[in-house]
Chain A
């Protein structure tokens, strides 16, 4: 009788699930860093746009709020015990970089 809890190659399903979870954890940190970097680039562009008068301060303010939400998500993730020390460091670095960008935008803003 076939054992349904094993894959065709014989690796036990819990092991595969664990590996998948571990991959998701690493991917989660990578995604978080990418998202933070993307927000930093967005805020840099918004800072330039506001300095040149391309966008309204009202709109820039909304982007700042969105970036802060991304920062809060990152803080939660960095405090999570699921992340390795290296992954946590990379998330923290990306978050600091975004914080600095938000601070620059605030200096430009009203």
Chain B
């Protein structure tokens, strides 16, 4: 019993500490700065969607002893599987580069040393931790440090927002101005919340942690509470930006501007904690995405894989995260615009959702795979709604990038 409670607590901490990263921070700050509390619904929808997908992918792994990637390949065949594999790989690589950019910018703002110079050392440190560490070190260590992001809750409380107005923002409403920009930011916020790497990582983690059907309760509570609290922090980020940037007409054109967001509420500690949040959460996500990409390739191509194995025992898996870390660091080292890269990555992430979400509807209803744990009515309604939403996003993403992206 106490082991279960510890697992749930750790899972929830992982949800809280691991939710914010370069994409969710940037999009929540931009959304709050330009539209106040009005885009709160996109944060809520993003965390609710991730909740559904994580619960489903965790359940799939616990019941079938196979990850989501394994199941996609086995159930739909290699020809179809190449689509989610390639799309997931490319999109995750872009997000990985953005995360390395986030850590680099945090270090630039703290030290004055240009962000380009930090990219390769950060990639090396991430590689070293993956090479030497275990899955629980990666998952729990970074999540516990990521609790520093609770500073946004403290900041929001210190600014005394009208909570009824914050609540009103949780109900979708029409844009009062800049319609294309509004929907572009809404899609970016969704893309930042529902990244395919997250549930690929989560279902691989379920196998790494040896989950069985006995862990289904832990899976459900972890997915619900972790994303509820994590999404709450993203919402508080939007609230802080709405209170600080919107009245001053500050639009975020560069990441450097975002470091001011907590200072009116928390003065110098606000600045320090913002940088710490950016650095720690982006670094944690860097580790997770590098692993997620290696998981995707190894599971998809049938290689041995586990972060708990010695690198020599799963050399192709270890080689993959080594190479992707290096490749993702290169654009940052060359000075690419991190905020621009982040925004594009988030929109492409949102656009890539159908290739994993639609097959999940089939998998979660397959009795051969799920046995007694197939989706119920509520689960199916949620998953089908998500699949439809992901197809709409796919159609709207590129036009909105052209019309509403800055």
Q: Return A72 CB to nearest CB of chain B, in Å.
A: 14
Given A59-B259, A66-B256, A54–B271 Cβ distance below 8 Å? yes
- Residues from chain A with a CB closer than 8 A to the CB of B257 are 42, 63, 66
| Residue B263 interfacial (CB < 8 Å) | yes
A45 to B248, CA, bound (A): 9
Q: A62 touching B109 by the CB < 8 A rule?
A: yes
- Residues from chain A with a CB closer than 8 A to the CB of B248 are 41, 44-45
A54 to B251, CA, bound (A): 21
Query: Who on chain A is nearest to B263 by CB?
Result: A54
Interface size on A, residues (CB 8 A): 24
A50 to B254, CA, bound (A): 19
- Residues from chain B with a CB closer than 8 A to the CB of A56 are 271
- Residues from chain B with a CB closer than 8 A to the CB of A31 are 406
| Residue A58 interfacial (CB < 8 Å) | yes
Looking at chain B's contact residues, is the secondary structure mostly helix, strand, loop, or mixed? helix
Q: Return B97 CB to nearest CB of chain A, in Å.
A: 21
Q: Which of A55-81 contact B (CB under 8 A)?
A: 55-56, 58-59, 61-63, 66, 70
In the complex, how many residue pairs between chain A and chain B have their CB atoms under 8 Å apart?
59
A58 to B253, CA, bound (A): 20
Q: Return A70 CB to nearest CB of chain B, in Å.
A: 7
Q: B267 touching A52 by the CB < 8 A rule?
A: yes
Q: B254 touching A66 by the CB < 8 A rule?
A: yes
As a 0/1 sequence over residues 27 to 68 of chain B, the CB contacts with chain A under 8 angstroms (1 = contact) are 000000000000000000000000000000000000000000
Interface size on B, residues (CB 8 A): 22
As a 0/1 sequence over residues 254 to 284 of chain B, the CB contacts with chain A under 8 angstroms (1 = contact) are 1011011001100110110000000000000
| Residue B373 interfacial (CB < 8 Å) | no
Q: B260 touching A45 by the CB < 8 A rule?
A: yes
| Residue A82 interfacial (CB < 8 Å) | no
A56 to B271, CA, bound (A): 9
Which residues of B come within 8 Å of A, CB atoms?
A: 108-112, 248-251, 253-254, 256-257, 259-260, 263-264, 267-268, 270-271, 406
What are 11 A-B contacts with C-beta separation under 8 Å? Answer: A35-B251, A37-B249, A38-B251, A41-B250, A45-B248, A54-B263, A54-B271, A59-B256, A62-B112, A66-B257, A70-B253
Which residues of A come within 8 Å of B, CB atoms?
A: 31, 34-35, 37-39, 41-42, 44-46, 49, 52-56, 58-59, 61-63, 66, 70
Known A-B contacts: A46-B260, A59-B256. Give 12 more (CB < 8 A).
Answer: A35-B253, A38-B249, A44-B248, A45-B248, A45-B263, A52-B267, A54-B271, A55-B263, A59-B259, A62-B109, A63-B257, A66-B256
